[in-house]
Amino acid sequence: MLNYHGLQQVKIVASDNLWEPISTSVIFDEELSSAVEVIGAHYPGTTTVTQALLTGKPLWASEDYSTFNDDVGGGCWARILNQNYVNGRMTGTISWNLIASYYENLSFGRDGLMTAEEPWSGNYVVESPIWITAHTTQFAQPGWRYLKTLGHLEQGGSYVAFTDGNGNLTIVIETMTHDHSQCIRPPLPAFNVSAQSATFHLKGSFNALTSLQVWHSKLDFKRQNSILFKQLSPMKLSDGTFSLDLDVDEVYTLTTITTGQKGAHPAPPSSTPFPKIYKDDFNVRNPPFTEAPDFADQTGVFEYFINLTDPGPHVFTLRQVVTQRPVTWSADADQTISIIGDHNWQNLTVTCDIFIETAKTGGVFIAARVDQGGEAVRHAKGVFFWVYADGTYKVTNDIGQYFATVLSSVIYAPETVHFPGCTKSQVVNSNTARWDTALHC
């Protein structure tokens, strides 16, 4: 189908799950084999299976890492970048995710190679996994190939070597210990790593090399004084031989490439909490992005929308644009949800104008003190104020609407509902099906 529509350059990675049954299916199904370019597995634990190797296809860890990006996360990343090939012959490893740019209290907070989660302040943090990545990606490009001379070091750790086929060579060595390199999944079997001296002998055309550029990282868990991607003096070779004294939790890159650089960045703005007073009328005529800043969609998709049929102050809006629930991999909620604000807020007021586009069906809710999002949002608890197109409303303590607020604690007043800790108010315009709603907690 892709080829039929002129998309021959688009290739398929399958099945983005486990090595089986896709590997066996590819071996015995010629049509499937011709359609699949890469066999990809998620979180393979640096190992593969015989059937995947027998396909003759490139093998990728097509989703991996997903680990909190402190120095243990850096150790995880260093270990799997090498050992995915040493143990599993995977030539590609894709980090989920690249940059942790979502509210940290959501699932998998800071599970990116770096962190940039405060668009309101501009704060960002370049974490250790970024510099661990540089040990490989600054000195080997797409199209380079792994050399067959690779493996585990005698006292633990691993090494790999790459070449571009034109005389360039890059060697990456890691000595990550067990407790300092655990990824979020799968469980890591026990192993030992200790300080050691390693000697390397270059053969063939590489035997003529007389020096290699050296880059070094040391994850320091005792003094919290890590060295990250530091250039050292070139390594002198004698008859293609060199030796290194290796400590634990280190990464070395030795390479013929001379363009490596750590670079620099200005000090980021200071981290600040989400503003306690926040307002957005979505009045952006030509937005650079379709999504409004600071909102994090959980289910559904909310985008800027210019409503030219509105005669009043609501021409510019944020509209939920997905009208049919898609096939999802997670136990997400039945409702469309976008979150904003500070997870720790307790006493707050939320006010918004809403428009229900269907005359008699559908509805809207606003909520505060919500305790979870992400793939667990179906079980979220908090204070939920529901307004329906037929003019009814209700208050629940969970998104599933199983736990209604106790009626005896509610005091009714014209167009306002008061109850301990929170109040809800509503103003209805029956001519436009527009509701002005507020939540006070």
Q: How many other C-beta atoms are found inside a 10 Å radius of the C-beta of residue 41?
A: 28
Looking at the DSSP assignment, which residues form a beta bridge with residue 299? 337
Spatial neighbors of 207 by CB under 8 A, at least 6 apart, are 239, 240
Check residue 333 and give its pLDDT: 82
Q: Which residues of the chain have pLDDT under 70?
A: 404-441
Helices (H), strands (E): how many in the chain?
5, 28
Of 183, 223, 155, 236, residue with least CA distance to 69 = 183
- Looking at the fold, whether 251 and 385 belong to one and the same domain comes out as no
Domain count along the chain: 2
- Looking at the fold, whether 136 and 210 belong to one and the same domain comes out as yes
Class of residue 155 by CB neighbours under 10 A (exposed 0-12, middle 13-18, buried 19+) = middle
Domain boundary residue among 229, 255, 281? 255
- Looking at the fold, whether 236 and 306 belong to one and the same domain comes out as no
Query: Which tokens is 276 given?
Result: 């306690």
C-alpha distance from residue 21 to each of 141, 241, 329 (Å): 31, 44, 18
- CATH (domain of 199): 3.20.20.80
Q: Helices 128-137 and 71-86 meet at what angle, rounded to 10?
A: 30
- Looking at the fold, whether 308 and 229 belong to one and the same domain comes out as no
Check residue 296 and give its pLDDT: 93
- Looking at the fold, whether 221 and 73 belong to one and the same domain comes out as yes
Domain with 69, as residue range(s), is: 58-255
Query: Which tokens is 313 given?
Result: 């102050």
Check residue 12 and give its pLDDT: 97
Residue 261, CA atoms < 13 Å, CB-side half-sphere: 4
- Looking at the fold, whether 303 and 251 belong to one and the same domain comes out as no
- The one-letter amino acid code at 144 reads W
Residue 286 lies in a domain: no
Domain boundary residue among 255, 275, 308? 255
**Integer-rounded Cα radius of gyration of the chain:** 28
- Looking at the fold, whether 234 and 300 belong to one and the same domain comes out as no
- CATH (domain of 416): 2.60.120.560
- Looking at the fold, whether 231 and 351 belong to one and the same domain comes out as no
Task: Give the integer Cα–Cα distance in Å for 202 and 239.
Answer: 8
Say whether the peptide bond before residue 233 is cis (omega within 30 degrees of 0).
Answer: no
Check residue 421 and give its pLDDT: 53
Residue 50 lies in a domain: no
Residue 7 lies in a domain: no
- Looking at the fold, whether 313 and 206 belong to one and the same domain comes out as no
Residue 29 lies in a domain: no
With b for 16 or more beta-carbon neighbours within 10 A and e for fewer, the 68-79 pattern comes to bbebbbbbbbbb
